[in-house]
Amino acid sequence: MEGVVAGIDRDEVLHVARLARLELSDDEVARFQEQLSAILQAVSKVSELDLSDVPPTAHPLELENAWAEDEPRPCLPLDDVFANAPDRDGDYFRVPPA
Amino acid sequence: MIDTLTLTAEGAKDLLERGEVSGAELFAAYRDAIAVRDEELHAYLHVCDDPGGDGLPIAIKDVIGTKGVPTTAGSKALEGYVPVYDATVVARCRAHGFRILGKTNTDEFAMGSSTENSAFGPTHNPWDPSRVPGGSGGGSAAAVTAGLAPWALGSDTGGSIKQPSALCGNVGLRPTYGTVSRYGVVAFASSLDQVGPVARTVRDCAYLYSVIAGRDENDSTTVDSPPIELPCDTQLAGVRIGVPRELNDAEGIEPGVRDAVRAAIDLAVELGASVEECSLPRSVEYGLACYYLIAPAEASSNLARYDGVRYGLRAEGADFREMVMRTRHDGLGDEPKRRIMLGTYALSAGYYDAYYGTAQRVRTVIRREHDELFERFDVLVSPTSPTVAFPLGARADNPLAMYLSDLLTIPSCVAGLPGLNVPCGLSEGLPVGLQLIGPQFSENALFRVGHALEQALGFDPVPARYRS
């Protein structure tokens, strides 16, 4: 099938890691390139089947719209919300400059 | 004297109701067992003090959020995280008076089949500590088998309840998708994740399922399921059992596993069931590939939240982007990183249709194959795991070999079907698990067949090394 490649090169590993916001060491890049290539080769098996008339399944239950009344409920107190925060500034999570 | 190795939850409930033991004595008995046996096993990541009350003790897998009790999902990214609210399943347990013994070990973010991917060290199998307990829920399964809890909650995405139950010799249910709330549970792959019970008997498993099942307004994917009946029938007259060839003859199934499962199938015939061979031609051949596209794709999205902003680990960084990338580098282990990258790749521009889109269509094929079989059969049977518990380290360096551990559990998970593991014998002195699969919402049928077989098989769930 078009688009399926058996393997992933070093630049693609770095590209995907950037998309996923993962810093990788050189060792990790080499290890993951080899392992991901083997895994991609194995999962490419899905392209063997003729699926032209088969619709996709996104969810195993055929549910349509789970309705709920739009009733306000109390949310967590702010001290709970920030209880696990690495850094806080008043009612904000504090992070390094962008 | 309470013998936690043989006491069932049902037995413990009787003792409490008759006033023969107090809730505090029961809780203390399990804490004592943990003190004696868990240094070797490492089933628990965190042990709780007695919260009081008079209900049954329970262990909770550490991917399930517990208010005021650390919840790490086996990851350094969540080390020190203490939830400020209970998962719905925990709230339901507490409403029944259950008392949390502690949080059980898991592969990091429930990604693995041996519990070796836990950032806090592996759990060991109670039958042979040089072997894995299975995974990802190896902690819950080992705790129940070693008498460190009467029962436990686990979670299952592609086999994380059934496979550890098989390797540890107890009963585990992966419920029908949508019947148990995931609210407050650390998300891995949301179209697959289910919470379920691990227990010593089928009746205990059914009872615990009845406690946690049912629609939850905080999880819009949940539905109400039929009322649960505790099984008592010991005959199987009228039950139609299918034996899918591909699940029973798959490459890699050990001869001892095959023999024990065949013996259990023969026993089902003696109990009055009709048994017939059948076929799932594409579900087993394509199931693993389908799963390892869909689950990582969903995981790459779910694990985006570990960015060091609101909770969990934060690494130092000169700017926001560097902080996030270092936090994820330091906090996440190899298996989550592999799956995040695999999923990101499968969802990225140019590859989406070829990988993720195709896998979703294969998922439809797998559902339809199972649906067709359930027009003729009430239950399908197979081994749960192709092998008995394997030695620690045996598959740790080869992700693909580890993924094959779930070859037989994955197809029904992909189809959203319930599955029950029932221990059916020993091979090389280690437990073999029988997998029962039914159509959606057929838990009562699985419990009925599982209970009848359990009674007839008479499997002794206490590891030989603990008997004396």
pLDDT at residue A3 greater than cutoff 50? no
Torsion of CA B366, B367, B371, B377, to 10 degrees: 60
pLDDT at residue A4 greater than cutoff 70? no
Of B318, B350, B362, the CB nearest to A96: B318
Task: List the Cα angle B387/B114/B153 in 5-degree steps.
Answer: 105
Of A57, A85, A96, the CB nearest to B364: A57
SS3 content of chain B, % helix, strand, coil (to 5): 40, 15, 45
Catalytic residue annotation of B: 61, 136, 160
What CATH number is given for A1-50 in this structure? 1.10.20.60
| DSSP state, residue B391 | B
Q: Give the end-to-end CA distance of chain A in Å, rounded to a whole number.
A: 41
Six-digit token pair at B390? 């394997």
Of B286, B354, B414, the CB nearest to A2: B354
| Per-residue pLDDT at A5 | 52
CA proximity to B139, closest of B105, B116, B165:
B105
Is any Cβ of chain A less than 8 angstroms from the Cβ of B353?
yes
Q: Which helix (H) or strand (E) holds A58?
A: none
| Per-residue pLDDT at A6 | 61
* CB–CB contact B84 A47 (8 Å): no
Of B293, B318, B360, the CB nearest to A43: B293
B458 CA: distance to closest CA in chain A (Å): 35
| CA dist., res. B213 & res. B363, Å (int) | 25
Is any Cβ of chain A less than 8 angstroms from the Cβ of B428?
no
Q: Where are the domains of chain A?
A: 1-50
Q: Concatenate the DSSP letters of all residues of B338-370 into one string.
A: HHHHHHHHHHSTTTTIIIIIHHHHHHHHHHHHH
| Per-residue pLDDT at A2 | 42
Preceding omega of B136 cis (within 30 degrees of 0): yes
* CB–CB contact A85 B293 (8 Å): no
Residue B230, exposed/middle/buried by CB under 10 A (0-12, 13-18, 19+)? middle
In chain B, what residues touch A45 (CB-CB under 8 Å)?
285-286, 289
Residue of chain A nearest B299, judged by CA positions: A20
CA proximity to B420, closest of B389, B381, B373:
B381
B247 CA: distance to closest CA in chain A (Å): 18
| CA dist., res. B6 & res. B10, Å (int) | 11
In chain A, what residues touch B311 (CB-CB under 8 Å)?
84-86
Of A3, A43, A81, the CB nearest to B292: A43
Six-digit token pair at B242? 């299918």
| Per-residue pLDDT at B6 | 97
Walk me through the domains of chain B, giving residue ranges and CATH numbers. 9-280+366-391+404-466 (3.90.1300.10), 283-364 (no CATH)
* CB–CB contact B351 A96 (8 Å): no
Which residues make beta-bridge pairs with A78? none
- What amino acid is encoded at B421 in this protein? N
| Per-residue pLDDT at B239 | 98
| CA dist., res. B297 & res. B238, Å (int) | 42
Mutate to test the interface with A, among B305, B341, B369, B440 (most CBs of A within 10 A): B341
Task: List the Cα angle B315/B320/B324 in 5-degree steps.
Answer: 45
Six-digit token pair at B360? 């979703």
| CA dist., res. B226 & res. B213, Å (int) | 10
Model ipTM over 0.90: yes
Per-residue pLDDT tens over the stretch B330-368: 999 999 999 999 999 999 988 899 999 999 999 999 999
* CB–CB contact A59 B82 (8 Å): no
In chain A, what residues touch B400 (CB-CB under 8 Å)?
38-39, 42
The residue with tokens 């032209």 is A52
Sign of CA dihedral A14, A16, A18, A22: negative
In chain A, what residues touch B342 (CB-CB under 8 Å)?
36, 39-40, 43
Six-digit token pair at A32? 């993951």
| Per-residue pLDDT at B54 | 83
How far CA B394 is from CA of B234, B390, B428, in Å, comes to: 39, 7, 17
Query: What is residue A30's three-state secondary structure?
Result: helix
- Cβ atoms of residues B124 and B146 within 8 Å: no
| Per-residue pLDDT at B319 | 97
Q: pLDDT below 50 — which residues of chain B? A: none
Rg of chain A taking only CA atoms, in angstroms? 22
Is any Cβ of chain A less than 8 angstroms from the Cβ of B415?
yes
Six-digit token pair at B114? 């041996």
Q: In whole angstroms, what separates CA B282 from the centre of its chain?
A: 24
| Per-residue pLDDT at B346 | 95
